[in-house]
Amino acid sequence: MRKRIIENVLATDMTFHTKQFSFLKLKLESFNIIKGINVDRIFENLDNNSIYNIQQEFMNITLHACDISNPTKPFHIYSE
How many structural domains compose the chain? 1
Confidence grade of residue 80 (pLDDT, cut at 50, 70, 90): confident
| Structural domain span for residue 41 | 2-78
Q: Which residues pair with 34 in a beta bridge?
A: 37
Confidence grade of residue 78 (pLDDT, cut at 50, 70, 90): confident
Contact 13, 65 (CB under 8 A): no
